[in-house]
């Protein structure tokens, strides 16, 4: 009998890492330690920041997150909401330039029942998409195939961000 194994060794870092409930809010902690390159923070605005998703659906998966800790969409001030959506727009422009996606998923999962992985702090996902990027791997192996390492993607996106 053939022994076919699929490895996703990068997942062990996530499995073994302290979870946000153990160390406070991951989205509050990331910008507070002022290590943007270590935390893959692409941009800091006045009210919100842009960060690479450490556990992306596709290469280039980014998030826009308000600095203020809230999980209530309706609690966003007009200034917060405007900056968040301006940063989403700029994220799309940068991703189009750097990665040439054929489409995007943009959205929020508000609350754990809606699928929010970090339900305590709202965030907007910007996920670049390509025809055929979602193959059999998630279905058969509960694994995703990413075409580039996050460090490489981050560098490309951060450089392009500063030029747009």
Residue 109 predicted with pLDDT over 90: yes
pLDDT of residue 152: 85
The model's confidence at residue 15, banded by pLDDT at 50, 70 and 90, is low
Among 83-92, 94-103, 116-125, 143-152, where is mean pLDDT lowest?
Answer: 143-152
Q: How confident is the model at residue 7 (pLDDT cuts 50, 70, 90)?
A: low
Helix axis angle, 150-163 to 78-99, nearest 10°: 110
CB atoms within 10 A of CB 144: 19
Torsion angles phi and psi, residue 48, rounded to 5: -155, 165
Mean confidence (pLDDT) of the chain: 85
Span 12-38, mean pLDDT? Answer: 79
The CA distance from 36 to 90, in Å, is 18
Is 3.50.50.60 the CATH classification of the domain at 11-163?
A: no
Average pLDDT over residues 80-92: 98
pTM over 0.85: no
**Spatial distance between the Cα atoms of 111 and 42, rounded to a whole number of angstroms:** 25
Q: Phi/psi at 128 (nearest 5 deg)?
A: -70, 145
DSSP 28: H
What is the phi-psi region of residue 64: left when phi exceeds 0, alpha when psi lies from -120 to 50, beta otherwise?
beta
Query: What pLDDT digit, counting tens, does each position of 112-150 carry?
Result: 988 888 999 999 999 999 887 765 444 444 555 556 778
pLDDT tens for 60-76 read 999 999 999 999 999 99
In the prediction, which pLDDT does 4 show?
A: 55
Structure confidence at residue 40 as a pLDDT band (50, 70, 90): very high
Q: Burial level of 6, CB count in 10 A (0-12/13-18/19+)?
A: exposed
Give the residue numbers marked as catalytic.
123
Residue-wise DSSP of 85-139: HHHHHHHHHHHHHHH--SEEEEE---SGGGT-SSTTS--EEEEEE-TT-S-SHHH
pLDDT (mean) for 148-156: 85
Alpha-carbon distance 152 to 21, whole Å? 29
Tokens of 106: 């943009």
Q: What percent of the chain lies above the pLDDT cut of 70? A: 78
């Amino acid at each position: 009998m053939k022994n076919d194994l699929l490895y996703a060794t990068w997942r062990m870092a996530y499995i073994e890492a302290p979870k946000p409930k153990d160390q406070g809010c991951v989205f509050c902690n990331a910008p507070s330690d002022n290590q943007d390159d270590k935390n893959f923070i692409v941009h800091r605005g006045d009210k919100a920041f842009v960060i690479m998703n450490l556990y992306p659906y596709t290469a280039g998966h980014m998030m826009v997150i308000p600095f203020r800790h809230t999980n209530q969409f309706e609690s966003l001030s007009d200034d917060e909401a405007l900056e968040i959506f301006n940063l989403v727009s700029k994220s799309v422009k940068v991703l189009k330039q750097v990665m040439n996606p054929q489409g995007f998923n943009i959205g929020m999962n508000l609350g754990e029942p809606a699928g929010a992985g970090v339900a305590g702090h709202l965030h907007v996902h910007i996920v670049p998409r390509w025809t055929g990027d979602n193959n059999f791997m998630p279905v058969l192996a509960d694994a995703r195939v990413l075409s580039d390492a996050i460090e490489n993607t981050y560098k490309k996106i951060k450089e392009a961000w500063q030029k747009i």
